[in-house]
Structures are given as structure tokens and as C-alpha cells.
């Protein structure tokens, strides 16, 4: 059961929300590591310069090494004195000052990587908000140029250059049965104590007039490596190596083997994290913390 004494409001703290965009190429993912540079690490370092103490961020979705974001969301807690002190005596709102000062501090921290991480917006979060547990869904995109598609050198850092031709219709046929509440253990790197049950809300491929294939995928949450594992399997089907039924068969059997290959990370972008109305933030967070059970698969 959720303990109300753990909420920032009960402890007299103010919760700040950050909307973040970043080029994940130079980083070893979002999460803090001992040695490697991470997105969380550089933002927390910049926050420490402003608030003058260590600050720990809670994020909507931990992205892998090399994965980018346009719509990442994180939160942290400060005292009312620290929140007001962000203004530094100026007649500006604390959230406006936080965004400006944090982007400035990131420039100092990043130096040669200046501009790879940007605070798009900063705000005072509504009561009960949790960047991770209040989210309704996360949406990712992924660009693929297959064997028959012109390779644009200017888009190479954000596009998978795939040597074989891909059948988009077969990939969509394979993706459709995976929608809904499922156990995605076959397409995830499990974390100790975490469930692999997720609700996949969208999983489809669309081809632009120039031939570029765009993956659109959305779920209430994603397991570690889940998007790249699903795409890796879909590429095998698009190449004709496997039948369209193969992905669902692996899903219900929970199979992870030598054919469980991750797609490259560099074209993957966290586009958006969506939240309920501010009056439902706390209720959503409590619901998300409840472990979900998966129904029996339809054979």
C-alpha cells in the first residue's frame, strides 16, 4: 500500500519536473554509472552547481546507450527555500530561472559536448506527480533505410542502414498479435524484482514515399531492451527468414535464444511521455506500482 508519508508534499518538499531532449550518441545511456558518462550523470552534476547539493533524478524511462530523446521527463525534490532561491533575487518565476540556469550549467559541464543535452521545459509538478509511475504511456520512433532505399548521409546518425530489402506488410502482420496486455519476457532483459508484463498499445511500421520505414511503438511502459528486441525480431520477418507468426509464438513460449538479437540503438528516439490530468497523477502512480497479471494467451 502506498504510504502518504513518502510523498514530497507530506515532507514539505516541492517537486520539480524537467522535460528533456538529448543526443544519446556520446552517452552510456540514461542511468548513473561509476565511470561512464551518462545523461542522468551530467544533469545531476549541473543541478548540483545550481542547488549546491547532490540531487537525484527520477526518470520516466531509462534509455539504453546511444538512444536519444525528444520527450524525456524527470523529477527531483527541493525545499521551499531552495525553490525560491532559484530566482537569485530576480523578479522571475523559479521554473523559468531553473530552465535558464540549468541549461547554462549544462554548457559548463558538457564543454565539448555542449548542446547534446537540453532542458526543454522546467515546471513545478502538480501534487502526486511521479515522472515514472504517473505516466500513462511512452512512445518511441525508429528509422530504417532498407536495401532498396536511398541512403541519405545526412541522416545516417539517426537511421538504420539495413542491407536487405524488408517487407513492411509482413512486419505489420507479425506485430499486430503482440498488442495488448502481454508478458514480454521473450523480448526483454529482465531486471531482478521487476515484472515483464506490459500493455503494448501501438506497434506498426509505415513507409514514407522516399522508402524510409518508420517504426511507431507505444506502451504503458517498456522493459529493458524491449523495443530493440521486438524490432530485431521484426527485421528477421521482414527479410523473410521467419514467418509472421514467429514473433507471437516466441512471445507465448517465452523463448530467448541465439535468434534474440537487438536492433542497433542509434535510430531509436523516445518521442513522448504522456500523463493524465493533474488531478489523477497520484491515483495513476499508485495503480502503476501494483504488479499486473497477464491473461492466458489465445492459441
Residues with active-site annotation: 64
Q: Give the span between the Cα atoms of 104 and 114, in whole angstroms.
A: 10
Phi, psi of 134 (to 5 degrees): -85, -10
Question: Residue 74's closest CA among 5, 2, 129?
Answer: 129
Q: Give the span between the Cα atoms of 39 and 20, in whole angstroms.
A: 10
Question: Residue 190's closest CA among 142, 135, 275, 260?
Answer: 260
Ligand-binding annotation for 142, yes or no, is: no
Number of Cβ within 10 Å of residue 206's Cβ equals 11
Burial of 117-147, coded b for 16+ CB within 10 Å and e otherwise, reads bebbebbebbebbbbbbbbebbbbbbbbbbe
CA distances from residue 154 to 159, 160, 206, 266 in whole angstroms, order as listed: 10, 13, 21, 14
Inter-residue contact 220 to 275 (CB < 8 Å)? no
Give the residue numbers of the binding site: 140
Give the residue numbers of the binding site for substrate: 140
Amino acid at each position: 500500500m502506498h504510504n502518504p508519508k513518502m510523498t514530497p508534499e507530506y515532507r514539505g518538499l516541492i517537486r520539480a519536473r524537467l522535460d528533456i531532449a538529448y543526443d544519446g550518441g556520446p552517452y552510456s545511456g540514461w542511468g548513473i554509472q561509476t565511470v561512464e558518462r551518462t545523461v542522468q550523470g551530467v544533469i545531476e552534476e549541473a543541478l548540483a552547481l545550481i542547488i549546491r547539493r547532490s540531487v537525484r533524478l527520477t526518470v520516466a524511462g531509462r534509455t539504453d546507450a546511444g538512444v536519444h530523446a525528444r520527450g524525456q521527463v524527470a523529477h527531483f525534490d527541493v525545499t521551499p527555500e531552495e525553490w525560491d532561491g532559484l530566482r537569485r533575487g530576480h523578479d522571475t518565476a523559479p521554473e523559468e530561472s531553473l530552465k535558464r540556469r540549468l541549461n547554462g550549467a549544462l554548457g559548463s559541464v558538457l564543454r565539448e559536448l555542449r548542446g547534446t543535452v537540453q532542458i526543454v521545459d522546467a515546471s513545478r509538478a502538480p501534487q502526486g506527480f511521479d515522472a515514472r509511475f504517473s505516466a500513462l504511456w511512452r512512445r518511441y520512433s525508429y528509422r530504417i533505410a532498407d536495401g532498396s532505399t536511398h541512403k541519405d548521409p545526412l541522416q545516417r546518425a539517426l537511421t538504420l542502414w539495413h542491407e536487405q530489402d524488408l517487407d513492411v506488410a509482413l512486419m505489420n502482420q507479425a506485430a499486430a498479435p503482440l498488442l495488448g496486455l502481454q508478458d514480454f519476457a521473450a523480448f526483454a532483459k529482465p531486471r531482478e524484482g521487476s515484472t515483464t508484463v506490459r500493455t503494448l498499445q501501438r506497434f506498426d511500421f509505415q513507409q514514407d514515399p522516399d522508402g524510409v520505414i518508420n517504426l511507431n511503438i507505444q506502451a504503458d511502459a517498456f522493459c529493458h531492451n524491449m523495443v530493440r528486441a521486438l524490432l530485431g525480431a521484426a527485421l528477421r520477418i521482414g527479410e523473410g527468414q521467419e514467418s509472421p507468426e514467429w514473433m507471437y509464438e516466441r512471445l507465448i513460449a517465452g523463448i530467448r535464444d541465439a535468434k534474440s538479437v537487438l536492433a542497433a540503438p542509434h535510430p531509436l528516439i523516445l518521442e513522448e511521455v504522456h500523463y493524465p490530468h493533474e488531478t489523477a497523477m497520484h491515483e495513476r502512480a499508485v495503480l502503476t506500482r501494483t504488479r499486473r497479471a497477464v491473461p492466458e494467451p489465445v492459441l
